[in-house]
Amino acid sequence: MSHSIDELNAIVVFQWESISDAFDKSNLFLGNGFSISLCNKLSYKSLFDKFKLTASSELLKVFSDFNTNNFELIIQILNNTEKVNEIINNISNKIEPLRDELRDGLIKTVQDNHPTHSEIYYPQLRSLGYELLDFSDIFTTNYDVFLYKSILQVISDFRDKKQEDPFIDYFYEAANPTELKFSNSNPYSSARSIYYLHGALFLYVYRNQRSTYKLRRLEQLRLEYIQLIRREIENNNFPIFVAEGHANDKLSTINNNSYLSFCASKLQTSFRNITFYGFSFSEPDKHIVNFANKSHAKQVAISIYKGDKTLEELEKESSFFRNTFTNKDVVVYDSETLFHSLRSF
C-alpha cells in the first residue's frame, strides 16, 4: 500500500533525510529487518524455531524440561550426563544419539538458511559498508555474517590506502589462521565499534579458558564460512547466540558471558543518540529496550516498515514506539528511506 510523504508526515512518520542531521554520527542498532533486506531466507525468528521443526519429540522434551532454547547449555547437559553415567557405570545408549541429532540438526539449520559465499552480492555489501560510516558504534542482534562481511569490504579499501581501520569488533589478536581472540581494548581510537549483542554464528568460546574467539575465513584455505562453522559444531563447539524465548532468559545468558555482557554495558553507558533499523521491539527483546533506556542517549530514531499497512496501523505502531522509551525523545522514520544500498541493488 502506497502512502504519500504528506500522509506519513501527518502521522509523524518522517523520511530519513528530514531527520538525518539530528542523528548524525548516532549509534546504529540493527535488528532482523536488516538481514531480511539482504536475504529473505533469514526471515526466521531464531535458529531454534527452525531447528525444532524437524527435531525429535525426545530431544525437544529435553529442551522443554530444562526450560531453555540454548543449544550450548543442552549439549553441556548431555555431555555431563554421559560422564556421570560412566562414573557410576550406568550403561545408556540414549545420550549419544541425542547429541548427534542436536549437532547435525543445527548444522542443517545453518546450511539451509545462511547464504553461501557465491550467493552474497559483495558490491552491495561494500556500498552498504560505506553508508555505515555515517554512524558511530553499531549494535546488532543478528547472528549472520552480513554486517561482518560488509565492514570487511570497507576495511580492505582503507588498508589499501594505508588508512586506519574504520571499524573494530574487538577481535584482532590472531590465535591461529582461522581464529581471532576477543580483547576489550581498542587499538584504533577513531574506529567505530561493532557489538554483537546476541552473539553470532562465527563467535565461540574456548572451553579451557572461557574466552571468546571469532572465526575468520581465509581465501587461501578455500573454506566457506559455513564450512568453518560446521567444523566447530561437529567438534561439539556451539556458536554463541542468544536464542532463548524470554527476555529474562536472554538477559541471563548475556550476563553469564563476558563478551556479551561487555557489549551490553557499552550500549547502557553510551552518550550518543541511537538509530534503530529493522528491530521489532517484541516482548522477548524487552531487555534491549531496558539497555537503551539506561543509556545516556537523549533521542532515538526508530524505523517503521510500511509494507501494506494502512495509515491507521502505521500510526498505532509508531505510537507504540513512542511509548516504549520512558525517558527519550522518539522520532519514527520510514525504513525504506535509510539505506540507499538496500533499494538500488
Residue 197: the pLDDT is 95
**285 part of a folded domain:** yes
324 Cβ contact partners less than 8 Å away, ≥ 6 residues apart: 281, 289, 330
This prediction's pTM: 0.86
Judgement on whether residues 224 and 302 belong to the same structural domain of the protein: yes
CB burial readout 258-283, b (16+ within 10 A) else e? ebbeebbebbeebebbbbbbbbebee
β-strands 27-30, 138-140 pairing: parallel
Average pLDDT over residues 240-247: 75
Does residue 114 come out as left (phi exceeding 0), alpha (psi in the -120 to 50 range) or beta? beta
User: Are residues 72 and 152 located together in one domain of the fold?
Assistant: no
Q: What is the mean pLDDT of residues 239-268?
A: 87
**Mean pLDDT, residues 205-209 taken together:** 74
Secondary structure percentages of the chain, helix, strand, coil, to 5: 50, 15, 35
pLDDT at 5: 86
Q: What is the pLDDT of residue 220?
A: 47
Mean pLDDT calculated for residue range 335-341: 94
Q: Domain of 263?
A: 5-39+115-344
In the three-class reduction of DSSP (H, G, I as helix; E, B as strand; rest coil), residue 251 is classed as helix
Inter-residue contact 169 to 214 (CB < 8 Å): yes
C-alpha cell at 186: 581498542
The answer to which of 38-52, 56-70, 248-262 has the lowest mean pLDDT is 38-52
The DSSP string of 33-92 is: HHHHHH-GGG-SS-HHHHHTTTS-HHHHHHHHHTT---HHHHHHHHHHHHHHHHHTT---
Q: Is 241 found in the same domain as 125?
A: yes
Average per-residue pLDDT for the chain: 86
pLDDT at position 244 is 61
For residue 255, what is its C-alpha cell?
550476563
Give the number of domains in the chain. Answer: 2
Question: Lowest-confidence range among 6-20, 206-220, 242-256, 262-276?
Answer: 206-220
Q: Is the pLDDT of residue 313 over 50?
A: yes
Q: What gap in Å lies between CA 182 and CA 172, rounded to an integer?
A: 7
pLDDT digits (tens, 9 = 90+) for 156-204: 999 999 999 999 999 988 878 788 889 888 777 789 999 999 998 889 9
Q: Answer with the residue of higher pLDDT: 9 or 42.
A: 9
pLDDT above 90 for 76: no
| pLDDT number for residue 221 | 46
Q: Could you tell me the three cell numbers for 258?
A: 563476558
Given 113, 141, 163, the domain boundary residue is: 113
Q: How many CA atoms lie within 13 A of 71 on its CB side?
A: 31
- Average the pLDDT over 103-124 and give the result: 79
90 assigned to some structural domain: yes
74 and 86 co-located in one domain: yes
Alpha-carbon distance of 246 to 251, in angstroms, equals 9
Residue 212: which of 169, 242, 181, 174 has the closest Cα? 181
Q: Is residue 322 included in any domain, yes or no?
A: yes
Q: What is the per-residue pLDDT for 114?
A: 74
Average pLDDT over residues 268-291: 93
Q: How far apart are CA 262 and CA 216, in angstroms?
A: 21
User: Is 44 inside a domain boundary?
Assistant: no
Rounded to an integer, the average pLDDT of 300-326 is 91
- Kindly state whether residues 244 and 183 are assigned to the same domain: yes
What is the structure's pLDDT at 102? 86
- Among residues 196, 97, 96, 178, which one has the least CA distance to residue 140? 196
